[in-house]
Amino acid sequence: MAFLTLPILISSSDDVTIGIDNYSFEVKKNQEFFGIQNIPCDSVHLIHFQEHNKKESIRYGYWFNCNVGVNGDVGYYLKYNGEKEIFDVFKETNLNVYYENINKYRNLMVNYPQVEDIESSDNWTLQTKYISWDQVVSVHESGDNDQQSFVYVDTSMTSREEIFFLQKKLNIDENNAMNEKHFKYTILNFKSKDALRAEYRMTDFLDKSNYLNAKLLPNFFNNDIKRLLGELQISFLNCITFGNYGSSLQWHNIIELLTQSSVVPGEENTVKDLDEILSKQLRMMPNEYYDILLNMKLWRKTIDKSIQKHVLVKTRKQLEIISQDLKGDHDDSDDAVYNHTTAYTDELDSGEYYYPSIGSDEESDNEGPTVVAGIYHNRNN
Distance CA 303, CA 297 (A): 10
197 pLDDT more than 60: yes
Task: Average the pLDDT over 362-381 and give the result.
Answer: 39
pLDDT in tens, 80-137: 888 888 899 998 889 899 999 999 999 989 999 875 555 554 588 889 999 999 999 9
Q: Given this model, what pLDDT does residue 312 score?
A: 97
Confidence of residue 306 (pLDDT cuts 50, 70, 90): very high
Topology of domain 157-378, per CATH?
Answer: 1.25.40
Q: What pLDDT is recorded for position 335?
A: 42
The least confident of 77-91, 129-143, 168-182 is: 168-182
Q: Between these two residues, 335 and 161, which has the higher pLDDT value?
A: 161
Burial classification of residue 209, based on how many CB atoms lie within 10 Å of its CB (0-12 exposed, 13-18 middle, 19 or more buried): middle
Residue 180, C-beta contacts closer than 8 angstroms, at least 6 positions apart: 157, 158
Mean pLDDT, rounded, for 202-210:
97
pLDDT digits (tens, 9 = 90+) for 219-236: 999 999 999 999 999 999
Sequence-distant (≥ 6) Cβ neighbours of residue 356 within 8 angstroms: 161, 162, 165, 249, 343, 344, 369
How far is Cα 272 from Cα 229, in angstroms, rounded to an integer?
A: 12
Across 306-315, average pLDDT: 96
Inter-CA distances, 121 with 118, 125, 227, Å: 8, 10, 21
pLDDT at residue 10 tops 80: no
Give residue 71's pLDDT. Answer: 56
Of residues 57 and 307, which shows the higher confidence score?
A: 307
Phi then psi for residue 93, to 5 deg, are -85, -15
The fraction of the chain above a pLDDT of 70, given in percent, is: 74
Looking at residue 379, what is its pLDDT? 38
- pLDDT above 60: residue 149: yes
Which of the given ranges, 66-75, 332-341, 353-362, has the highest pLDDT on average? 66-75
Q: For domain 3-119, which CATH number applies: 3.20.20.70, 3.40.1160.10, 3.30.470.10, 2.60.34.20? A: 2.60.34.20
For residue 301, the one-letter residue type is K
3-119 and 157-378: identical CATH topology? no
- Domain ranges for the chain, please list them: 3-119, 157-378
What does the angle CA 139 – CA 247 – CA 177 come to, to the nearest 5 degrees? 65
Q: What is the pLDDT of residue 13?
A: 60
pTM of the model: 0.83
| CA dist 128 → 2, 17, 196, 362 (Å) | 17, 23, 32, 31
Residue pair 13/19 in contact (Cβ under 8 Å)? The answer is no
Q: Which segment, 36-40, 118-122, 150-154, 218-222, is predicted with the most confidence on average?
A: 218-222
